[in-house]
Amino acid sequence: MSWPQDDAKLDRVRALMGDRGLDALIVRAPDNVLYLTNFWGMKGYDVCVFPREGEPVLICLEASEEDAASTAWTSEVRLFAGYDSSDPRPPLARALDVATSATAEYGTVALELSLGTQAADRMVGEPTTFTADWFAAFGPAEDATPLLVEARAIKTDQESERMRLANDIAAAAMEHCKLIIQPDMTEAQIAAEWEGFVHGEGTGWEGKVELALGFSLVWSGPGIQTFTATTSRPVVEGEPTLFEIWVCADGYWCDHTKNLVVGQLTSVYRELEDGLMSVYRDAIDFARPGANLPELDRRIREGIAAMGFPGQPPHPICHGVGARAHEPPYAHQAGGGEIREAMVLAIEPGCYIEGGGGLRVEDNFLITANGAEKLSPFPDGIVSA
- Contacts with 203 (C-beta within 8 Å, 6 or more apart), sequence order: 209, 210, 211, 212
Instruction: Give the Å distances, CA to CA, from 267 to 37, 223, 224, 349, 356.
Output: 51, 18, 17, 20, 17
For domain 7-153, give its CATH number from 3.40.350.10, 3.40.50.800, 1.10.3720.10, 3.30.420.40. Answer: 3.40.350.10
* Residues 161-181: tens digit of each pLDDT: 999 999 999 999 999 999 999
* Residues 183-206: tens digit of each pLDDT: 989 999 999 999 999 999 999 999
Q: What does the CA dihedral 41, 42, 44, 47 come to, rounded to 10 degrees?
A: -30
Q: What pLDDT is stored for residue 308 in this prediction? A: 97
* Assigned superfamily of 157-384: Creatinase/methionine aminopeptidase superfamily (3.90.230.10)
Q: What pLDDT is stored for residue 195 in this prediction? A: 98
Q: What pLDDT is stored for residue 41 in this prediction? A: 96
Strand partners, 26: 49
Instruction: Give the Å distances, CA to CA, from 365 to 73, 248, 331, 369, 371.
Output: 28, 17, 14, 13, 9
* HSE, side-chain direction, 13 A CA sphere, residue 253: 25
Q: What pLDDT is stored for residue 245 in this prediction? A: 98
Strand partners, 213: 248
Q: What pLDDT is stored for residue 125 in this prediction? A: 87
- Contacts with 156 (C-beta within 8 Å, 6 or more apart), sequence order: 6, 8, 9, 342
Distance CA(300)–CA(250), nearest Å, equals 33
Closest CA to 119 of 265, 297, 294, 248: 248
DSSP state of 206: G
Buried b (16+ CB within 10 A) or exposed e, 47-70: bbbbbbeeebbbbbbeebeebbee
CATH 3.90.230.10 domain span(s) along the chain: 157-384
CATH 3.40.350.10 domain span(s) along the chain: 7-153
- Contacts with 6 (C-beta within 8 Å, 6 or more apart), sequence order: 38, 73, 156, 158, 159
pLDDT beneath 70, residues of the chain? none
